[in-house]
Amino acid sequence: MLAELEPLANTPAAYGFVALLGLLWGSFGNVCIYRLPPTDKHPKGRSVVAPGSHCFACNTPIRWYDNVPLLSYLWLRGQCRSCKAPFSSRYLIVEAVTGLLFGLSWWFMVVAPALWLPFDQRVIHFAIAAAFVFTMVVIAFIDLDHKLILNKVTIPSMIVFYGASLLLGEHRWYDGLVGMLVGYGVPWLIGEIYYRVTKREGLGLGDGMLLAVVGALLGWRGVVVSLFGGSLIGSVLGIPLLVSQRLKSKPGTDGEPSLLKLELPFGPFLAMAAVFYLFAEPWIQLNFRLTGG
Ligand SMILES: [Zn+2]
């Protein structure tokens, strides 16, 4: 049955369907990002299933036709229908990013490797990639808001993605286990040394948990690429951000703001690099195979 769909894989209809799927998952991602972290009222976070979505200001339940990803935001002009409280454009960004990453996953996992992998295997790879980018989006945005990487997200993800790694070609059964160990161990070691030397916390253990998720699916190479790639992206994007934050904050009001004290969460940069490696890995493998390495 799947094989009959193969000729459609590289058509606008397929991309449209995949992007729509991404928007829907992005919409659920928003619920996770908003409800999972602990708050003063809910120290353990809240359920992502029940109750349904409510307006954060007036508590009116959001009707299903006002809960359509992307479109609802546009036709309600970003406001609650009853009380007109403005919704953050972040909802829109999370949905759009997830839709875009699902589209990219489709191209990298299903369309591009058409010459060397059977269709059903490529579709399985897409499902794994989509689950992985969704997880990275949720972790990155929670980290951005709360500077927290939650164990209740990372631990189940490690189990799921270790299982998924067994379905990816070219992965041996222990690759994911080694990846998890390196992912958690290396940041822990760096943090220990940094702490001994400077008496300050460097990398958080949450970053190690995130890298363990990456390692579970992509092995130790994925961890190394994410760590170095994340540092690179962090210094390219992060330094201008920190400088602009510093220029905006008035000295004297809250002490002397220093670049070191204005911390940016590292998780979003690690997640970006991990997604990059997810897409790049099949090409790297193919290159090794062609060159007999
Ligand atoms: Zn409202």
Query: Across residues 129-149, what is the average pLDDT?
Result: 96
- Ligand 1 centroid vs 81 CA: distance in angstroms? 7
The alpha carbon of 135 and the centre of ligand 1 are apart by a number of angstroms equal to: 29
CA of 61 to the centre of ligand 1 (A): 9
Residue 50's pLDDT is 80
| pLDDT of 52 higher than 90 | no
pLDDT for the residue 153 = 96
> Could you tell me the distance, in angstroms and rounded to a whole number, from the CA of residue 119 to the centre of ligand 1?
46
The CA 74 to ligand 1 mean position distance, Å, reads: 16
Strand, helix or coil for residue 54: strand
Range from 63-72, 160-169, 183-192 carrying the lowest mean pLDDT: 63-72
Q: How far is the CA of 64 from the centre of ligand 1 (A)?
A: 15
Cα–ligand 1 centroid distance for 285 (angstroms): 51
Amino acid in the structure at residue 14: A
Of 92-101, 109-118, 152-161, the poorest mean pLDDT is in 109-118
pLDDT of residue 288: 72
Higher-confidence position of 63 and 217: 217
pLDDT of residue 262: 55
Report the mean per-residue pLDDT for the chain.
87
Q: How far is the CA of 54 from the centre of ligand 1 (A)?
A: 8
**Cβ neighbours of residue 150 under 8 Å, at least 6 residues apart?**
36, 37, 45, 139, 142, 206
Work out the average pLDDT over 58-81.
Answer: 86
pLDDT at 292 over 80: no
| pLDDT mean over 279-292 | 77
Question: What integer pLDDT is reported at residue 1 of this predicted model?
Answer: 61
pTM over 0.75: yes
Q: How far apart are the CA of 66 and the centre of ligand 1, in A?
A: 12
Q: Check whether the bond before 51 is cis (ω within 30° of 0).
A: yes
* pLDDT per position as a tens digit, 221-279: 999 999 999 999 988 887 777 777 766 655 544 444 444 455 678 999 999 999 999 99
With bands split at pLDDT 50, 70 and 90, how would you rate the model's confidence at 134?
very high
Lowest pLDDT segment from 213-222, 259-268, 280-289? 259-268
Q: What distance in angstroms lies between residue 58's CA and the mean position of ligand 1's atoms? A: 4
Domain extents in the chain:
1-118, 149-293
Q: What percent of the chain is modeled with pLDDT above 90?
A: 51
- Ligand 1 centre distance from Cα of residue 20 (Å): 26
Task: Go through the chain and tell me how many residues it has.
Answer: 293
Which band of pLDDT confidence, cut at 50, 70 and 90, is reported for residue 72? Answer: confident
Cα(78) to centroid(ligand 1), Å: 11
Q: 65 C-alpha vs ligand 1 centroid, how far in Å?
A: 15
Instruction: Tell whether the model's pLDDT for residue 175 goes beyond 60.
Output: yes
When pLDDT is averaged across residues 85-111 and rounded to a whole number, the result is 94
DSSP string across 57-122: TT-PBPPGGG--TTHHHHHTTTB-TTT-PBPPTHHHHHHHHHHHHHHHHHIIIIIGGGGTS-HHHH
By CB atoms closer than 10 A (0-12, 13-18, 19+), residue 122 is buried
* pLDDT for the residue numbered 7: 84
